[in-house]
Amino acid sequence: MKVLLAGLGSIGQRHVRNLRTILGDKVQFLAYRVRRRRHVIHPDMSIQPAGPDVEGLYGLRVFTRLDEALAERPDAVFVTNPNSLHMPVALAAARAGCHLFVEKPLSHDFRDVPELVDLIERNRLVCLVGFHLRFHPGLRVVQSWLAGNAVGRVLAARLDFGEHLPSWHPYEDYRQMHESRRELGGGVIRSQIHDLDYAYALFGLPRRIFAVGGHWSRLDVDVEDTASILMECLADGRPVAVHLHQDYIRRPRSRTCEVIGDDGTIRLDFNAGTVDRRDGTGRIAETRSFESLDRNDLFLEELHHFLACLRGEAQPIVGVREASQSLRMALAALESMETGQVVNLT
């Protein structure tokens, strides 16, 4: 299998390691590189101070022109560069007939999304968008409990994400990360679109969205570092209030999901690896623990799923159309934050 990578930051290198783990010597790596940074990024986010650079360690054939890389006819292209650079690579790859793995978000805006959707569907290409939280076993438990009406009629949900941005990548100045820079499609809403994606998976596309937030902290960024988003969703034709808070500030990090029903509540803690269901009396009725789960297990399962899609054994759990919906939600939140108005989506 021949894989072309466009972007070799932390997530790009993670996918290289994991593909090598899964496929061994059956995978050949090509790389489209512009800046050609050399450092090797370890799973713990430290960098290798000496020894082989990233190109030598992984045996990459490097191209500085995308057309030359695509002329090698890769089986799949991994789009793992900054958010605002996703679409030029994805469109070129789709025109060349390549299957796609695109890291979240699908793009930083919606301008070229319809063309990409058309190319993928018309050419019958596989496109998986990299929302690894969809593979979290705790989220799957929540989905199964909701499908079984385990907490009765769903009334509301509270979703939360917070993590100190300068601590994400100790090997680089946080001010240079694409998550910190407007021109690269950064900001907490698009960079952590995971939460909007799983909200969409649980509750569907909101009817309307209202958001407040912005660059409220002392971080040296030019993007929103705090966002509070209220979404009106529907369940069986009834309104459900879904509130999401996100920030680049908190230590220790937090990512939780609480669903409130008229006959109980569900609380998932992604970082702790626990999910509980309380009945209508407030007592814990069911609990699951995934404390032994390694974060990289989610990325490995994601790649196993992508390879199954390439073999025709599965359909992408988050395809290009579904990923475009979470992008619509993110862009609506940003629009509402800027205008102070409610944004209708349906």
pLDDT tens digits, one per residue of 81-126 = 999 999 999 999 999 999 999 999 999 999 999 999 999 999 999 9
Q: Above 80 in pLDDT, residue 312?
A: yes
Query: From start to end of 122-269, where are the E strands?
Result: 127-130, 154-162, 208-214, 226-235, 238-247, 254-261, 264-269
pLDDT tens digits, one per residue of 22-54 = 999 999 999 999 888 888 988 888 887 667 789
Q: What is the pLDDT of residue 52?
A: 79
Residue spans of the domains in the chain: they are 2-132+302-318, 136-291+325-344
CATH 3.40.50.720, domain 2-132+302-318, yes or no? yes
Judge if the upstream peptide bond of residue 114 is cis by omega within 30 degrees of 0.
no
- Cβ neighbours of residue 186 under 8 Å, at least 6 residues apart? 82, 83, 177, 178, 179, 180, 221, 223
Residues paired with 78 in a beta bridge: 5, 101
How far is residue 121's CA from residue 32's CA, in Å, rounded to a whole number? 25
Q: What is the pLDDT of residue 50?
A: 65
Instruction: Report the amino acid identity of residue 255.
Output: R
What CATH code is assigned to 136-291+325-344? 3.30.360.10
Pairwise pLDDT comparison (261 vs 45), residue with the higher score: 261
**Average pLDDT taken over every residue of the chain:** 96
Q: CA dist 319 to 105, 296, 312, Å?
A: 12, 21, 14
In angstroms, the first-to-last Cα distance of the chain is: 41
If you average pLDDT over residues 175-199, what whole number do you get? Answer: 97
| Ranges of H-type helices in 151-237 | 188-191, 194-203
How far is residue 213's CA from residue 109's CA, in Å, rounded to a whole number? 19
Share of the chain above pLDDT 90, in %: 92
| Ranges of H-type helices in 2-112 | 10-23, 54-57, 66-70, 86-95
Residue 138: which of 255, 275, 258, 286 has the closest Cα? Answer: 275
pLDDT tens digits, one per residue of 127-178 = 999 999 999 999 999 999 999 999 999 999 999 999 999 999 998 999 999 9
pLDDT tens digits, one per residue of 214-245 = 999 999 999 999 999 999 999 989 999 999 99
How far is residue 24's CA from residue 21's CA, in Å, rounded to a whole number? 6
